[in-house]
Amino acid sequence: MTFIDWLVIAGYFALLAGVVYVTLRKNKIESGEDLFLGGRSVGWLAIGASIFAANIGSEHLIGLAGSGAAAGLSQAHWELHAWVLVMMSWVFLPFYYKSGVSTMPEFLERRFGARARWILSLVSLAAYVLTKISVTVFAGALFFEVMLPEMQLTIGGTTITSFWIGAIATVILAGVYSSIGGLSAVVYTDLVQTGIILAGTLSVTVFALYHLGHSGVTLDAQTGAVASSIGDGWAVLKQTIKSTGNVEQFGLWHSLSHKAFPWLGVAIASATIGVWYWCTDQFIIQRTLAAKNLTNARRGAIWGGALKLCPVFLFLVPGMLGFALWQNNVVIGGVEFQTLMCKTVDGVKQIDGDKVFPTLVQTLLPVGFRGLVVAGMIAALMSSLASLFNSVSTLFTVDVYQKLKPETSPRHLVTIGRTTTVVMTALGLLWLPIMKAISGGGLYMYIQAVQSFLAPPIVAVFVMGLVWKRMNLRGAVWGLSLGFVLGMCKLAANAVWGGADGFAFIQDFYFSGILLAVSIIIVFIASLTAPAPDDAHVKGLTFAGLDAQFKQENRASWNWIDVLGSVLVVGCVVAAYAYFWTWLD
Report how far residue 386's alpha carbon sits from residue 408's, in angstroms, rounded to the nearest whole number: 25
159-198 pLDDT per residue, tens: 777 777 777 777 777 777 667 667 677 787 788 888 888 8
Range of lowest pLDDT (120-124, 307-311, 519-523): 120-124
Query: Which of 106-115, 355-364, 433-442 has the largest mean confidence?
Result: 106-115
pLDDT at 123: 83
Non-local (6+) Cβ contacts of 355 within 8 A are 66, 146, 340, 341, 343
| Position 356 confidence tier, pLDDT thresholds 50, 70, 90 | confident
Total of domains in the chain = 1
| Position 112 confidence tier, pLDDT thresholds 50, 70, 90 | very high
pLDDT at 130: 64
Residue in 139, 71, 65, 577 with CA at minimum distance from that of residue 316: 65
Over range 250-276, report the average pLDDT: 90
Percentage, residues of the chain above pLDDT 90? 30
The better pLDDT of the pair 381, 48 is held by 48
What pTM was estimated for this model as a whole?
0.87
Range of lowest pLDDT (275-284, 314-323, 383-392, 399-408): 383-392
Over range 195-216, report the average pLDDT: 86
CB 574 within 8 A of CB 86: no
Range of lowest pLDDT (68-77, 113-122, 125-134): 125-134
Average pLDDT, the chain: 83
Is residue 154 helix, strand or coil? strand
Domain that includes residue 576, residue range: 3-581
**Integer CA distances (angstroms), 140 to 34, 259, 435, 481, in order:** 29, 29, 12, 33
Examine the pLDDT at 91 and tell me if it is beyond 80: yes
Percentage, residues of the chain above pLDDT 70? 87
pLDDT at 441: 42
CB 101 within 8 A of CB 110: yes
The better pLDDT of the pair 13, 554 is held by 554
The better pLDDT of the pair 367, 76 is held by 76
Q: What is the CA radius of gyration of the chain?
A: 24
Query: Which of 35-39, 249-253, 281-285, 567-571 has the largest mean confidence?
Result: 567-571
**Integer CA distances (angstroms), 225 to 235, 321, 414, 546, in order:** 12, 20, 66, 65
Query: Which of 142-146, 219-223, 230-234, 480-484 has the largest mean confidence?
Result: 480-484
Sign of CA dihedral 90, 94, 97, 99: negative
Residue in 469, 476, 478, 481 with CA at minimum distance from that of residue 537: 469
Q: β-strands 348-351, 342-345: how paired?
A: antiparallel
Q: What is the CATH number of the domain that holds 479?
A: 1.20.1730.10
Report how far residue 170's alpha carbon sits from residue 393's, in angstroms, rounded to the nearest whole number: 18
Is residue 153 helix, strand or coil? strand
DSSP states along 214-260:
TS--EEETTTTEE--STTHHHHHHHHHHHHTT-HHHHSS---TT-SS
pLDDT at 440: 45
CB 351 within 8 A of CB 141: no
Report how far residue 318's alpha carbon sits from residue 316's, in angstroms, rounded to the nearest whole number: 6
pLDDT at 220: 72
pLDDT at 121: 87
pLDDT at 147: 67
pLDDT at 244: 85
Q: What is the 3-state secondary structure (H, E, C) of 431-489?
A: HHHHHHHHCCCCHHHHHHHHHHHHHHHHHHHHHHHHHCCCCCHHHHHHHHHHHHHHHHH
Report how far residue 499's alpha carbon sits from residue 487's, in angstroms, rounded to the nearest whole number: 18
446-480 pLDDT per residue, tens: 666 778 888 999 999 999 999 999 999 999 999 99
pLDDT at 80: 92
Sign of CA dihedral 101, 103, 107, 110: negative
Report how far residue 148's alpha carbon sits from residue 382's, in angstroms, rounded to the nearest whole number: 18
Q: β-strands 218-220, 158-160: how paired?
A: unpaired
**Integer CA distances (angstroms), 499 to 450, 466, 496, 503, 504, in order:** 16, 40, 8, 7, 8
pLDDT at 35: 64
Report how far residue 546's alpha carbon sits from residue 177's, in angstroms, rounded to the nearest whole number: 40
